[in-house]
């Protein structure tokens, strides 16, 4: 019998096929003969204690000139799927939170949900790196502006970022005596009503913000170093950074050894660690990317490795 794969994601029409990791997973599932059901957040619903979804099966092409084809529409119990992938991009807002609750009900009804809904709630992508203090740069999370001033005075140059952002959005690099520092703090903390993160600035960002993909506790042996564009401090590809493939260093492997067993134990089977220089800066678990770039650079099949690991759970 065919595997039934549900994928909760952003609209299929909006993704960039050549760069989208979710699309790579879908292509690999299609190659294996699985039925692929596309589900958006507003397709999910709870009825009499069970989670359902309006889903659409699809036929996919990796040729950007050919449209992906929707085949049939279904109303299905989510618990009836073999696997449900939660690949909706942040922000992790209340609607995302509610979706994880609905997915958890589907999980209890028999579906393998990846990544695990409870762990998606537990693991804030910015905060959770602090569970591994041996791996991270000096870091402050607060909404008190005086603490940020003390942190800047100690480290002289810092990065400030929101706890719910993605793609490099709303990230500021601030140096001592920056005349805009007070305004940045007011905006970022909403005048002391919102917690944000500050980290010591790492000049190694010029060599790239390295994305390391970890599948079921095992790292892909190469990372994607995302290098800031001229005049930029952010390496994110969404912020105009360029990409270079690199072999993982000894320090990278050490960081993975610290983090990966915990991720595996929490049911986070596909994660992306962000490393700048010698330091872990983020742990991405909602919809980590960069698989297609690494596949193209090193002749890998990261989606194949991922689906192999899923089949071991079925």
Residue 215 pLDDT > 60 = yes
Tokens of 11: 């609209």
Q: Is residue 213 part of a domain?
A: yes
Render pLDDT for 96-136 as a digit per residue (tens, 0 to 9): 999 999 999 999 999 999 999 999 999 999 999 999 999 99
pLDDT category of residue 236 using cuts at 50, 70 and 90: low
Check if 200 is active-site.
no
Place of tokens 């596949």: 295
Same domain, 190 and 216: no
For residue 292, the domain's CATH number is 3.30.470.20
Residue 87 pLDDT > 60 = yes
For residue 153, the domain's CATH number is 3.30.1490.20
Catalytic residue among 126, 200, 210, 292: 126
Same domain, 195 and 223: no
CA dist., res. 282 & res. 143, Å (int): 19
Instruction: Say how many CA atoms lie within 13 Å of 205 toward its Cβ.
Output: 20
Residue 238 pLDDT > 70 = no
Please give the mean pLDDT across all residues of the chain. Answer: 94
* Out of 2-6, 23-27, 87-91, least confident range: 87-91
Same domain, 175 and 145: yes
Check if 234 is active-site.
yes
For residue 22, the domain's CATH number is 3.40.50.20
Same domain, 216 and 152: no
Write down the H helix ranges in 215-300.
250-265, 291-298
Catalytic residue among 161, 210, 266, 292: 161
Same domain, 220 and 267: yes
Check if 19 is active-site.
no
Residues of the chain with pLDDT > 70: what percent? 96
Catalytic residue among 17, 88, 226, 266: 226
Check if 157 is active-site.
no
Q: Is residue 165 part of a domain?
A: yes
Same domain, 69 and 160: no
Residue 24 pLDDT > 80 = yes
Q: Is residue 312 part of a domain?
A: no
In which domain, by residue range, is 159 found? 138-201
Check if 282 is active-site.
yes
Q: Is residue 155 part of a domain?
A: yes
Same domain, 164 and 235: no
Render pLDDT for 275-296 as a digit per residue (tens, 0 to 9): 999 999 999 999 999 999 999 9
- Provide the domain count of the chain: 3
Residue 201 pLDDT > 80 = yes
CA dist., res. 186 & res. 62, Å (int): 45
Check if 236 is active-site.
no
Q: Is residue 177 part of a domain?
A: yes
């Amino acid at each position: 019998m065919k595997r039934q794969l549900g994928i909760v994601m952003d609209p299929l029409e909006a993704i960039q096929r050549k760069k989208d990791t979710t699309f790579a997973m879908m292509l690999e599932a299609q190659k294996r003969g699985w039925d692929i059901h596309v589900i958006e957040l507003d397709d999910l619903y709870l009825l009499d204690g069970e989670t359902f979804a309006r889903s659409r099966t699809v036929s996919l092409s990796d040729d950007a000139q050919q449209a992906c084809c929707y085949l049939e529409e279904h109303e299905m119990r989510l618990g009836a799927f073999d696997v449900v992938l939660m690949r909706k991009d942040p922000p992790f807002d209340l609607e995302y939170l509610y979706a994880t609750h609905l997915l958890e009900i589907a999980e209890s009804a028999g579906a393998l949900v990846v990544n695990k809904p409870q762990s998606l709630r537990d693991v804030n992508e910015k905060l959770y790196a602090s569970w591994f203090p041996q791996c991270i740069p000096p870091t402050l999370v607060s909404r008190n502006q005086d603490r940020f001033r003390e942190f800047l005075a100690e480290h002289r140059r810092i990065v400030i970022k929101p706890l719910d952002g993605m793609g490099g959005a709303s990230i500021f690099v601030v140096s001592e005596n920056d005349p805009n520092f007070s305004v940045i703090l007011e905006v970022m903390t909403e005048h002391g009503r919102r917690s944000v993160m500050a980290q010591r600035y790492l000049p190694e960002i010029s060599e790239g913000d390295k994305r390391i993909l970890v599948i079921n506790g095992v790292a892909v042996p190469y990372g994607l170093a995302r290098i800031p564009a001229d005049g930029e401090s952010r390496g994110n590809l969404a912020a105009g950074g360029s990409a270079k493939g690199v072999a993982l260093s000894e320090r990278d492997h050490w960081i993975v050894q610290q983090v990966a067993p915990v991720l595996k134990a929490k049911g986070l089977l596909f994660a992306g660690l962000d490393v700048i220089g010698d330091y872990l800066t983020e742990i991405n678990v909602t919809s980590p990317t960069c698989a297609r770039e690494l596949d193209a650079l090193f002749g890998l099949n990261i989606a194949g490795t991922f689906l192999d690991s899923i089949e071991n759970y079925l």
